[in-house]
Structures are given as structure tokens and as C-alpha cells.
Amino acid sequence: MGRSPCCDKNGLKKGPWTPEEDNKLIQYIELHGPGNWRTLPKNAGLQRCGKSCRLRWTNYLRPDIKRGRFSFEEEESIIQLHSVLGNKWSAIAARLPGRTDNEIKNYWNTHIRKRLLRNGIDPVTHSPRFDLLDLSSLLNSTQFNLSSLLGLQALANPEVFRLATTLLASHNESNPELLLQKLQENQLLNSQFQNLEGSDLLLQKLQQNQILLNTPLQNQPQFYQLQNQIQEIPNFTTQNVPCSSASQPMQGHVEESYLMNGQMLPPQNYGYCNSDTSDNSTFQSLNNNSSNQNFSYDSVLSTPTEDEKETFCSNLMKFEIPESLNFDDFM
DNA sequence: AAATGTGGCAACCGCCTGCTA
DNA sequence: TTAGCAGGCGGTTGCCACATT
């Protein structure tokens, strides 16, 4: 037969732990070690369920727990790992020493998730959500710089590129219904994109820029050429650079995953840029591969403010291409 | 100064998986 | 073999502190 019940729930205390209870739990575990949570409360003299004791220990009392604000690196790691693992908080926590799954989960729900939403990124799929962005300015012809959208931006975020090519492919098929369907699939049928004039403008721009449809970007020679050019840029400035490129600047973004501590990570990257326009602001990546490059992010690593982080992502759709880039080759 | 709103976070709930008797 | 439990996990709740009106 199975084991006896973990604990009798009747008469057991619930709610916040008192310092006395914490001390009892700590002293008991220091003597006997964690584990056997079923008998622990009784042996430790606690009127608590074993489950409650385990949670209190693992989430709060454990000596190796790191308290305080999440660092920029930690935050970026969470985003990266979440894009791969989803809501597997324990798996994410396993890669962030000193942080608990509960803490990461709370931080995600209260900070990161909201920020991603505000910046037009679906926190579930990690894909751009155009229905969450104010694209009115993007579709304004006087400001619509598609080369930005489809150039570095597309490289930095394959989802944008994918969406754009999907639109163009549908349009090329001269099938308005299919186009509408694609738009719906991409959650574009909202206030910003209901105006198909805007879509037509997007399509027109796409065609003008001769996007190579149905060709994986990494297979395009222009991609490698551009990639190499970027890597040769010393201290590539971050002025108005999209957030999705912050921690892994232009390297292997498109359809190219990379390894981090043996963990497969996705091409997307939603790090942060420094919002100030100082030419000194530069990147630093968590990615081991790029950490050796000339990218540093000292101003932000020091402790970026919330505004800095948000402004960085707000620059998703507006950035300037460094003059040293020979962008004509790419286009 | 008081009332109300909001955000953050610790803790609980309930389900799932693997283990054990 | 399998019923049933322990432990693990993700989702949710509710309290508290702080901000705003």
C-alpha cells in the first residue's frame, strides 16, 4: 500500500511565518538537514504542514538565497530562458544561482511580463505583437522608414521579418482574403492595421526593398556580409538600437540558436538598450560568444533604471543604422 | 489626514509525476 | 502490479506597503 498521509491538515497553522517559527525550522534543518518534510514539522515542534515547511525553507530561509533586486544580467537571462522553457520556473531558477522559482515567477509576472507587453512583445510567444504597439507612426509615410524595419530590425528580430514576408507573400498571391487571413493570424486586425492602406504601404515598401521571399535569412549572402560588417565595428553604438539586439548584437539572430551553459537558447533577444543617447553606451551580452567582442554595456550594467530599460525597448521601431554599415549591399 | 488605488510578494492551492509499500 | 503518498511545480490569492487623490 501507499504511504500514510503527509500530515493532518486539521489544527495546522497557515499564513505568514513568525520569526519564532523560522528559527525553529532553521535550527532543525541545521541539525538534521532538509528532507523528510513529512515528519519535520513534528520533530521541529512546528504546527505546520510539511509542505509549508518545505516552501518556507526553499523560498525564503535557505542560506544560499540571494535577496534583493534582480540584476540586469539576471533579468536578461530570465527572458532568454523563458523564451525557451516557457513557464518552467524551476528550470529557469536552476540556471540562476540563488534565485527561487517562486521569486522568478513573481518577478516575471510583476515586472518583465508587463514591460514586454508595453513594448509590444507577447510575453508568451516572445513574438512582436503589433496589436500592442502604436504603429500609427510607423505607417505614417513621412516617418515610415522600412529600411529600418526590414534591415537591422528584421535581423534582430526574425519575427518581424517573418511577419513582413508573410504579408508580402500573401500580397503577391493577389489574394486579398489570404492576406486578411494572414493578418488575422498575426493578430494584426486591430485598430492600427485595419487600415489596409497602411498594409499596402508596408507591402509596397517590402517589394521596393526586394525582400527575398521564402528564403531563410541566414542563407542570404547579404546577411553574412552584414553580420561581418557589424562585428568589425568597434564599440558599436547603441543609439536607438532595438532592444532585441542588446545582449547579442547582430550575431546569429536569425533562425540561429546558440548555447548558453549547454542550454539551447533562441534567436530572439529582448534585452535592453540604454535610453540615453550617449555615444558611450555600448552593449554587453550574456552570450559567451559575444562577451569577447567589443561590446560592453557598462552604463546599464551598473544598474539601469526602469525608465532606461523601458525606453530601450520603446526604441524597437526607431533606430539609426551606423554610417559605417554598407547597407546598400544588404538591400 | 483619510480614503482609495496599485503593485509587490509571500504563501497557499491543487495538479502532476515518480516513488514506495 | 498498483494504490496512494511525497515532493515538485505552476497558478492564484490575499496581505501589506506605498502612491495617489
Closest residue (CA to C1') to nucleotide B8 in the complex = A110
Same domain, A36 and A162: no
Same domain, A167 and A230: yes
Closest residue (CA to C1') to nucleotide B7 in the complex = A110
**Position A178 in a domain:** yes
Please write the tens of the pLDDT for every residue from A14-42.
Answer: 888 888 888 888 888 888 877 678 888 88
**Position A6 in a domain:** no
Distances (CA, A) of A52 to A10, A27, A62, A65, A82: 14, 16, 14, 18, 27
Same domain, A104 and A140: no
How high is the pLDDT of residue A231? 37
CB atoms within 10 A of CB A98: 13
**Position A67 in a domain:** no
Contact flag, residue A10 CB and nucleic strand B, below 7 A: no
How high is the pLDDT of residue A317? 32
Strand B bases within 7 angstroms of protein beta carbons: 7-14, 20-21
How high is the pLDDT of residue A9? 52
Same domain, A114 and A250: no
Residues A140, A147 contacting (CB under 8 angstroms): no
Please write the tens of the pLDDT for every residue from A283-315.
Answer: 233 333 333 332 232 333 334 444 444 444 433
Residues A321, A240 contacting (CB under 8 angstroms): no
Measuring from the CA of residue A15 to each C1', which nucleotide is nearest? B11
- Return the bridge partners of A259, or none: A264
How high is the pLDDT of residue A98? 85
CATH code for position A82: 1.10.10.60
Same domain, A111 and A147: no
pLDDT band at A106 (very low <50, low <70, confident <90, very high): confident
How high is the pLDDT of residue A237? 31
**Position A14 in a domain:** no
Contact flag, residue A84 CB and nucleic strand C, below 7 A: no
How far apart are the C-alpha atoms of A276 and A258, rounded to whole Å?
Answer: 29
Same domain, A178 and A76: no
Same domain, A137 and A262: yes
How high is the pLDDT of residue A130? 60
How high is the pLDDT of residue A31? 83
Higher-scoring residue by pLDDT: A119, A176: A119
**Position A328 in a domain:** yes
Which pTM was predicted? 0.53
**Position A13 in a domain:** no
Query: How many structural domains comprise chain A?
Result: 3
Of A51-60, A93-102, A224-233, the least confident: A224-233
Same domain, A81 and A56: no
Phi-psi region at A252: left, alpha or beta (left = phi > 0; alpha = psi -120 to 50): left
Average pLDDT, chain A: 54
Of A8-12, A93-97, A110-114, A298-302, the least confident: A298-302
**To which residue does cell 494572414 refer?**
A182
CA of A114 and C1' of B5: distance in angstroms? 18
Same domain, A232 and A272: yes
How far apart are the C-alpha atoms of A102 and A109, rounded to whole Å?
Answer: 11
Which positions ≥6 away from A293 have C-beta within 8 Å? A231, A249, A251, A285
Higher-scoring residue by pLDDT: A66, A210: A66
CA of A16 and C1' of B6: distance in angstroms? 22
Domain that holds residue A80: 72-118
Cell of A330: 544588404
**Position A9 in a domain:** no
How far apart are the C-alpha atoms of A331 and A329, rounded to whole Å?
Answer: 6
Same domain, A154 and A182: yes
Helices (H), chain A: 19-32, 40-44, 50-56, 72-85, 89-94, 101-107, 113-118, 146-150, 152-156, 158-172, 176-185, 196-208, 221-231, 288-291, 298-301, 306-314, 327-330
How far apart are the C-alpha atoms of A33 and A95, rounded to whole Å?
Answer: 23
Same domain, A286 and A330: yes
Same domain, A91 and A207: no
